[in-house]
Each structure stands twice: as structure tokens, then as C-alpha cells.
Chains A and B, each alone.
Chain A
């Protein structure tokens, strides 16, 4: 069923009794051309682009829970492409371009809102670093504007400009950045992939990867054995565990990242704002809740919940930037498990096992990358060669020294 103004009106006249489920409840077949492990944003996007761009429809997405129950439903919904390194900028810009056409492509309202992402800076040196980043972005064809203090004050008059320990000096604005409705991204990709024949199998956990003579032959699951010519991992958070089933060790640690939402408020802030003197970022959802977050907890964790010190840390940063938030009540907070890679950048590459592909290591930046990750992963799986904009995301870059250390803190996942 194609969604349109006409179907909405005709359904309204019929009391909304004719809507169909957006995707089928599929049972696994015995064999597939491509089997994708992980029904999150990246896995579902991969399935969609495999079917729509490469004509590969005999595809299954295997999900241990329900689709969108992992990190695609646990992030803070921000989309942006303000990256510095040549290996990153074109990839995230491809993602931004795909976001811009996503709703038309999927015929699904993902509520993509290009409200702007403003990164504040608080010192001359930080301003210089942001100017360099803005120049790198513009050289790569990405929009970037450096804002001085007066321009920031005009945009956001309610921040603390008087008493801040780290006074605001300006900001880097990407107007095309913004937010998207994260669950709808998973649902939209699922519906689009399903409509092209992809089987989305929920409540089916992969328990083993079958390898014969160095070549993958299928997977063992809680719903039986499934054969596949190619198997693709898109299980960020649990990448190390899944890769271990094929005998691999990854340069990844799993860490917990918390996020927060306040009670619903009247419109307060019309962009995505990040604090430069601590780790805090905030935007406002269409329901009115302030959606915000900060650092990872900083120790290995597979628990989808965090501890109190980080909550205190995030609230302190919020108060330092925007004192009026002191009267706002927190509605809820939650945690998601991040694949923290050793250089802070992702991996989209072949595995040493033939026919096995790895999409992992997204740290806490996976949501914005969802469209390009699926696009490039599908390209890799279909053509057996990396997409040009994702060519730097090699698995062997840690051994060869071609790291993508956007943050430059060394091989410390807890600091990325």
C-alpha cells in the first residue's frame, strides 16, 4: 500500500479499518542469497539498498528481538556531516544527501528536520580548530558557517553569556544538519525492503556462523539452520560476540551510552546545540521533550543501563550552558550499547572468512550514518568491492596504521 494524501482521506472515510501491517511477519526460508544479521537501522537499510540498487531480493534480515529494539531506537536522533578527515567527510555527506531524499524514496515519513546543528566553541584554539573543520567541510562540498558571538547570541539568547566558566566565543553551524524520527527510520526501511521481497525475521537469534573451508555457508539460529551464500553482520553493540562465532577478534569494546529526555515543554530551542567545554548536546522533539546526552559511562558494559555519575556530569554541563534548565524535570533516561572502536571510526569491510562482511564500530555516531552505511554495505556485499566513499573503513587499517582518528586520543575506546 502506497501512502499518500488520498489513501489517508479514503482510510479516514472508512474509519481507518483498511490499513495493512507495514511489513510481513516472515518465517525464515531454508536458504538465501544474502543473510543480514541485525534488524536495526543499518541492517534494514542494507537490505533496502541491496534490493533497490542491486536487484538482490532473496535477502533475509535476522533480528534477535523486534526490529528497531536496539540502538536505532536508543539514540538522540541527530543527523549531521560535520567531519574533518578526508576518509570521513564524503561518507557522512553521502549520508546527509540520502537523508534529504529519504522520505520520498521510502514513501514513509521519517520526520527529517534540517533545523541546523550548532557546535559552540569557548576558546581561541577551539575556534581555530572549528575554522579548520569548517574549511575541510566546505572543501568537500559540505555546508558550514562559522558564527561569531553576536550571531550565536541572536540565535540562542537564553544561554549563559555572562557568568560561564568557559565563556561562549562562537560556533560552527551546519544548517543542513538536524534530526530525524529514529523509529520511523527503522520502520520505513523495513517497509521498503519488505515491499521488494526481503524477509524480515524477528525473534530469531543467531547462535552460530557456519564456515566450511574458509567460506561461510549459513547460520545457526534459535529457529533452525539457515543457509546463505553471503552473511553480513550489522549488530553494533554485540559485534565482538557475533564476530567471535566466525573466529574473529575485533578492535572493539562495548560501552554503555546514556541518553535523556525531559518532560514536554513549549518550543524552547529550534536547532541541535552542542556544548564545547564539556560533553553535552540537546535538541527538542516535536512532542516538546528536550532530548539530550553526553559521554559514555567509560567502562566495558553490555547492560543497557548506566550509572549515576554520568547523569550528574551531563546535568552539570547542561546547567553550565543553559541555567534555565535547572527547573526542568527529567522524564526518563536509558542506555544503549556502543561498539567503541580503537580509533573512533567504523568498519565496513570483508571479513577474513569468504562471504562474510562486517559493519561495526560505529561508536556513538551510528544513527546519522544509517543511510550511507546501508548504501555502502550493500555495495560491498553486491559487488565485493568497497564503495569509494567508504573505502577508508577497512578492517586491516589498525594493523597497517591507516587509522581514522577523528578525535586523536589513541587506542582507548573509553575516551573516543
Chain B
């Protein structure tokens, strides 16, 4: 498996660290209910098929990436920067 990093080009998966599903958003710490925090920390959709996930290019540019990957075929459909997604740009 190789990931096309927007900064570094097509790189081997060994250069990256996996975090997991990119969908859960951390609730605001002080305002969050216990239930919302539980859902954020523990519950996952875990789809068989397309999943947007967070990878960190630790051996390259050290950017956090959003990767849309098929969990059944391992085919990667899209790679973008997590930073630009957070700023509101289309992922």
C-alpha cells in the first residue's frame, strides 16, 4: 500500500502512522456531556468500504493527512491535508 502525500508524492505506507476514522470530532471539553465524550472516544462506524481516515506522514513532511480508502480493497481514492479540511475547505 502506498499513499500519495500532497507534499511528498507517492510514498510507502511504512512512512505513515495511522490514527483511524477521521469523522469523530472532539466535543468542546468543558461543555461536552459524558455521552458525547463516550461516543467520540469509543464508538465507530467501522464501514466495510469507503472510510475517511487520518494518517500522519511521520517520516516525510510530518503533515496530518485525510485519506479516503476502501477498507475492503485497500484502494485509495483521495488524499488531502487535514489542515485544509479543518479550515473548512472541501475534503
Residues of B within 8 A of A413 (CB): 20
Q: For B69, what are the chain A residues with a Cβ–Cβ distance below 8 Å? A: 299
**A398 proximity list for chain B (CB < 8 A):** 38, 41-42
B42 touches A251 (CB 8 A): yes
Asked whether, in the complex, the Cβ of A399 is within 8 Å of the Cβ of B46, the reply is no
Q: Using Cβ atoms and an 8 Å threshold, which residues of chain A touch B43?
A: 249-251
Q: Which applies to chain A's interface (DSSP): helix, strand, loop or mixed?
A: mixed
Q: What are the 9 A-B residue pairs with the smallest beta carbon separation, nearest first?
A: A240-B46, A251-B42, A302-B48, A398-B42, A249-B43, A309-B14, A299-B18, A399-B38, A302-B72
Interface residues of B (CB under 8 A from A): 1, 12-14, 18, 20-21, 34-35, 38-39, 41-48, 51, 53, 69, 71-74
Is the pair B51, A300 in contact by a Cβ cutoff of 8 Å?
yes
Which residues of A (295-309) have their CB < 8 Å from a CB of B? 298-303, 307, 309
Q: Is the CB of B42 within 8 A of A300?
A: no
Q: Are A252 and B74 interface neighbours, CB within 8 A?
A: no
Where chain B touches its partner, the secondary structure class is: mixed
Residues of B within 8 A of A414 (CB): 18, 20
Residues of B contacting A412 in the complex (Cβ-Cβ under 8 angstroms):
20
Number of interface residues of A (CB under 8 A): 25
How far, in Å, is B36 (CB) from chain A's closest CB?
11
- From residue 241 to 268 of chain A, which have CB atoms closer than 8 A to chain B? 241, 244, 249-254
Judge whether A98 is part of the interface by a CB distance below 8 angstroms.
no
Is A277 among interface residues, defined by CB-CB distance under 8 A?
no
Which residues of the partner chain A approach B21 to less than 8 Å between Cβ atoms? 253, 300
CB of A156 within 8 A of chain B? Answer: no
Q: Do the beta carbons of B42 and A254 come within 8 Å of each other?
A: no
Instruction: Assess the B72–A309 pair: CB atoms within 8 A.
Output: no
When chains A and B are docked, how far (Å) is the Cα of A252 from the Cα of B45? 9
In the docked arrangement, what's the CA distance between A300 and B20, Å?
A: 7
25 A-B residue pairs with CB within 8 Å: A238-B48, A244-B45, A249-B39, A250-B44, A251-B43, A253-B20, A253-B44, A298-B18, A299-B13, A299-B69, A300-B21, A300-B46, A301-B71, A301-B72, A302-B48, A302-B72, A303-B74, A309-B14, A398-B38, A398-B42, A399-B34, A399-B35, A411-B41, A412-B20, A414-B18
